[in-house]
Structure 1
Amino acid sequence: MPKPLRILVLEDSEADAALMLRELRAAGLTFEAVRVDSEESFARALSPAVDLVLADYTLPDFDGGRALATLKASGLDVPFLLVTRTLEEEEAVTFMLQGAFAAVLKDRLGGLAPLVTRALEERELRRENRRIHETLEAEVSLRRTIEDAMTAGLVSFDARGKINHVNRAFCDLVGYSREELLGMAPPFPFWGTEGQSEFGAQFRNHLETGEGPRDIEAVGRRRGGGRLEVDVQVSVVAGKEGTPEGLVCLVSDIAEKRRMEEGARRARRALMTLSRCNEALVRSTSEEELFHRVCEAAVAQGGYRMAWVGLKGTGAGKPVAMAARAGHESGYLETAAITWGDDERGRGPTGSAVRTGAVVVSRDIATDPRMEPWRREALKRGYLSSIALPLKEGAEVFGALTLFSNEKDAFDSEELHLLCDLADDLAYGVAAMRAQAEKRVLQERALHAQKLDSVGTLAGGVAHDFNNILMVILANCGFLLSSFSEEDPRRADLEEVRAAAERAAGLTRQLLIFSRRQASNPEVLDLNALLRNLQKMLRRLIGEHIAVKEELCPEPVRVLADPGQLEQIVTNLAVNARDAMPSG
C-alpha cells in the first residue's frame, strides 16, 4: 500500500481547507493533512516529511509570499501551491517566478487535484535526476579510482593526437606530471629517438584510418633519458560515422606484461564503458551541438581561419570556457587562459566582449596591445585579425563568438553587421532551447484554461435555460398552494414538488457559479434543520426498501454556506450510498 502524502495547509478558514482537501480526496489522492494559520506554526510544521504545501494568499498576520520565502529558505524541495479567492494574473506570474508551482482560485478548485498530481510528479522527476546525477558522479569517481589503482599506464588521445587523459601509472612510467602531459601534442618526448619514426608512423595511421596493429612493442625514453621498453595495446575510439576520433592506449613494461594481463582485461572492460558514454555524448542534441555547427559553418562557408564559442564562467579568475571550436586551432585555446575579468588576460577581444557586452575587433593582432598575452601563438597559427561578438539572453551576456581571419583589418562595416546578426541568431537559438521546457508547461496550462472556459460557457447556458423552466414550476406551485387549504391532503405532495424544484434551482445556481454567471450566496444555517427538511425527499429518492436513519447533533450546528450547494452535496452522497448497496 503506498505511503499517504503529507500535506501542509496554510489556511485560516477551516471550511476552505476542508473544501481543498475534499477535492483531493475526490481525485483519489491518499494523504494526511495538517492545517496551520500563523507564521510560527507554519515554520514549525515544515520538515522533510512534508510532500506538499497549499497556502492561502492572505491571512490575518501572515501571507502566501512570506510563506513561500520561508519554504525556500528552508532548502526543502516541496511543491508550493497558492489557493486564494482573488489573484491578479501579474501577481500569479510573480509568485511562480519566485518558486510557486501554481496558483488556484478557491471558486475553481476543480483544477487543484491535477495541478497537485503534476507538481508531485515533477518533484519526483527532480529527485530522480538528483539520484542519477549522484550515481554518475559516483561512477566517475569510481572510474578515476580504478584507473589510478591500475599498475598499467593508461593514456588517451583526441583526433588531433593531443593527450586528453592519463592515469597515475602512466605519469610514473614516463616521468611527466599529469599537468605536463594533458594537451601535449606529437611528437612526444617519451617516444625517444628510436621510437619517433616507427611508433610515430603507426600512431598517425591509427588516427587517420583506424587501421593498424592493436598490440605494439615499442622503445621509448623516460624523462631524464632512461630507456623505456613498453607493450602498447591500442583501442580506436570510433565517431558517429565510424571514423576514428581518438585512441586509448594501455601501456605497460614488457617485463611486467604477464603479471598485468588480468589488470589489462579489467581496464579494457572499463574503457569499453567509457567509449559507449562518449558515443552517447556524440549523438546528443544540445547547445554544444549548435555551437559546433556554427563554428564549422564559419570556417567552411565563411572562410575564417578559426572560430570558437566561449562561455562566461563563474569560477575563480572569471574564466571563459571553450564550448566549441573549428578551423586551424592546434592547441591555441588550451594555453590561452582567457578570462572576462578586468585584467591582462581579460582585456583581449573575447574577454572584453563578455565583460562589456560590446562587439570588440582587433584589426591587426601584430600591433594590438590588447593581444600581447597571445600574440606569438596567434601569429604562429596565421591569425592576423579577430572579432569577438557577445552572446546575450535578454540583457545578460552568457558568452562570445570569436572569429579569426588570416587577413589584417578583415572586418568592414557590412561584414560586422552580418556577423552581429549571426551572433544574435546563435544567442536566440540557445535561449529557445532553454525556454522549450517552460513553453511546454505554459501551453499545457493555456489549453487547460481554454477547456475549463468552454465547459463553463456550456454549463452556464444549460443552467440558465433550465432555471427558466424551474421558475415556471415554482410559480405554478405557488398558485396551487394558495388555492389549497391547510387541511387539504394534496398540499403535502405539492409542497414536496415545490421543495424539489427549489433544490433543482439550487443546482442551477451551482452551475451558474461554475460558469461565473452568478455568485455564491452563503448564509448562516443550521445543518440539523437542513437535514430534517431533506428527510422526506431523500426517502422517496432512494426508495422505500432502504431505511434512512438520522443521527443529528443535540445542539444546533451552524455553518456559513450556500444552502442549495449543501443540499446537493447531501443528495449526491445519499444517491451514491444507495448505488453502492447490494440491492440499491
Structure 2
Amino acid sequence: MTSTPSSLIASLRARWRPWRRWQRWWQGLSPAHQDRMVSIVPLISVLLFLAAIASAFTYFTRLEAQREQQEVTRDVEYAQQRLRLRLLEPHEPLQRMAAEVVGGELSPQLFGLEAELLAGRFPELLALTWLDARDQVVSAHAAVQAPALLNRSAGQPVLDVDTEGALGVARTTLQPHFSRPLGGPGPDSRLLLLLPLTHFGSFQGTLMVEYSLEMLLRLGVPGDVRTRYALALVDLNGNVVAGSTHELDPEGLPWLPWTGQPRSAQLAVTPVGPHLQLRATSYRISRDAAGEGFFWVVGSLSLLTIWMLLTNLRHTRRRLQAQRALQSETLFRRAMENSMLTGMRALDLNGRITYVNPAFCSMTGWNEADLVGAQAPFPYWPAAHVENLHARLDDELSGRTNAGGFEMPVQRKDGGTFYARMYVSPLIDSQGQQTGWMTSMTDISEPKRVREELGASYRRFTTVLDTLDQAVSVAPLNSTELLFANRMYQTWFGSTAEGHRQLIQLSQRSSATRPDGEDHQSDGLAGLPTDTLFEATTDHAELFLDALNKWLEVRSRYLTWVDGRLVQMVIASDITARRRAEQQAALQQERAEAASRLITMGEMASSVAHELNQPLTAINNYSSGMIARLQQQQISEAELLEVLQKTAKQAQRAGQIIQRIRAFVKRSEPTPIPSDAAQMVANAVELAEIDLRRHLVRLNTYVAARLPQLLVDPILIEQVLINLLKNAGEAIMQAQRPVGQRQVELCVTPRHVEGLPVVEFSVRDTGRGIPPERLERIYEAFYSTKAEGMGIGLKLCRSIVESHHGRLEAHNLYNGQEIMGCEFSFWLPSLTALKS
C-alpha cells in the first residue's frame, strides 16, 4: 500500500512537532538569556569531558592503590604474627621461673644466674627483676646493653612512676600484664611484662621482665619485610617508640592526592594491645608518569577553554551576585533585628529616637510609631523618675557613661514597671562620623529579684553562724586570705587568718602525736591528706590555747569554695568545762582505785601478818640457836654459814612480801607498758594466796605457754586479779563448802576476739554463785551481794579492764538446775592487736 503525499506530509509534521515546541521556547527567551545559554552549553561539554577523563584516571589509579595497600596490610599482619610469637616465646620459661620463686625453690642468687641464661637466650630481654609485695627489689639482672637505670640492686624501691602504675594493675588483677611502652624513642625504649607471684590467691610479689623494643623489632620482623618497608613501633598516641621515623617529603609528592602516595598500614601488637602498634610505610612510590602527563595536558586545555567561556559571563554574574548579596544582607539584618531579645534604641545627637527594634517595642508595650521621633521625656519613663532620667540622658548624650551600663526603671504602656540595664555606645556611620548613640536594653527584673533573695539568704545564714558558740572560719590552703569568719571567731582571733592557720597547725601536730590517730597519707608537695581530701569526713583534735586559756575541740575538712578553689573549713568549740570534768573524773577514778587497794590490803591484814610471822619466827629461832651454840662453842664455821644463809633467806622472803604489798597499795598514775601476763599472775597470786590459805581454799593456776605481750598497767591488772580471787575465796566461805570442795581455778589462755589476738583471764569458784536477778546489777557502784561489801570492787575492776580496751563478764556454773559456782572472766587485747 503506497503512501499518498498528504499522509507523508502529516507524518513529517508529527515528527517535527517536539522540535517546533523547543524552537518556540528558544525564541521566547530574551537575547541575554540566549547568549547565556549558548555560553553554558560548551562549558558543560568541556566539564563533562574533563570529568570523564578524571574519573577514568582515578578509577584505574585507585585499583592499583588498593592492590598495593592490600599487599602492605598482608605484610604487616605477617610481621605482627612474628612479633607476637617472639613476645610469647620466653613466656613459658618465665612462668616456670615465677613458679619456682613462689615455691621457694629459687634463691636470689640462683635467680640472677637463671635470669642471665634467659637473657643470653633471648637478646631482646633487657632486665629481669624479682620484686617483693612492697615493690622492693629482691634480686635483679640487667643485660649488658641495658641502660644504666635498669641496674637495680637488692632492697632498692622502684621509683619510676610509669612502672609503679603498671605494678598496681598487676597487683590488682593478679594476672600477667603488659605495660605501655616506656622510655621514649631510641635504645632506651622498653616494654614491661609483669607476672604476679601468688600463693593460694595471696599476692607475694612481681616478676618484672623488660623487653627492648628496638631488639624486639629487629629480631621479630623478617628481613624481607624490613627491606621493603619503614617499620616502627608506635604507642597509642602515634608517637614512635622504636624503629624507623621515615617520613616522605611532601614537596616530592605529586599534586593529585590519589597518585603516588606511600602505602602504609598499622596494626596493634598482641598480646600487648592498643598501647603498642606496628606501623609499616612503603619505601617506594609508584608513579604513572605517562598517565599523569596525559591528565595534565587534558586538564590544562579544558581549564583554558573554561576560562575563555567564563569571561563572557563575568559582568552579568557580577551584577547578579551583587544584587543577591545586597538582598541577602538586607534580609539577614532584618531577621537578626527582629529575632533579638535585647531591646535596641538609636538616638541622634539631639536626643531624638531614630530607631527601635521589635524587642524594644515588645518590652515597653509601645509601638514603633509612638517611639520613633519622640524626645525626652520619653513615653516609657516613669513619672516619679523623670528628673533622674533627664540627668542620665544628659550624661548619655555627652558621652559620660559607664562601660558596665546602668540600671533604670521602665514603665510599660499598660502601667507596669520593670528594671532594665542600659548599655550605651557611639553610633558610627560608613564614613566614620558619629551620627548618634546606640543603646541596648536588657530586662533584669528576675536577676534583680534573685540577687535580693540571695542577699537575704546570706544574711540569714550569717545570722545563724554568728549566734553559734563555735568559731567557724574558711580560708584557702597556704594563704593569708580569710574567706569567712563568724562572730565568735572574730571575738577570739580578730579579723585575720592567723587564728585559722594557728588552729590548723596545732591540730595537725596533735594528730601526728596522737597514739590512736590514723596514719594519713600525704603528698610531698602540698602536705595534703590524699586519702581523705575529697571524702565527706572531718578530722578533729583537742588542744589548749594559752592566749585564750581555753581547751578547744578543732574540727576541719576540705571543701570546694564557690569560685572553685579548694579551701579548708575549721570549727573550734570551747570544751574547757568538759576537759575539767574529765580530769576531775579521772582523779576520782584514781583515788577510788587506790582506796580499793587499801581496803583489800586491810581485809588481808591478818593473813599478811600471819604470813610475815613465819619468816620472822624462823629468823628468831635461827638467831637464838646460833647464840646458844656460840656461847657453848659447839658450832663450826660450815654450820654457822649454813644457819646464816637460812636466816638471810627468811629475811629476804619477808622483805619481798613487804615490797609486794607496798607496790600494790602505792598510788601512782596509770602507766601502760609492755607486760608479761605470766608475771602479773605470779605477783597477784603471791598476795592473794595468803588470804586463801588462811580460809583453807586451794588455788589452782594454769598459765598457757607463749602468751603474747600486753600493753597494760601491771599494778591495775594485778588489782583486778587480786579482787576477783579474794571475792572467789569469800564466796566459798559464805557457801560453807567442805574442805575438799574449797578450790579456786585461775586460767590464763590465748584467744581471738573479732579476729584479733587477746589474752583471757578466768577465775572459777565453787561458791553459791550470783542470783540471776542480780547479775545485771553487780557492776553498779555501791551495790554488793555481800553484807559487809562496799560495792566498788567490781565497778573498779570493770572500769580498769575497759580502760585497757578489754571486757569483763560473769556467769554462773550449773550442774543441772543447781548452781555450783561462778566464773568471772576478762580479756585484754595483745600488743600486736593494739598496733594493728
TM bin (shorter chain): under 0.3
Which has more radius of gyration? 2
Q: TM-score, normalised by structure 2?
A: 0.17
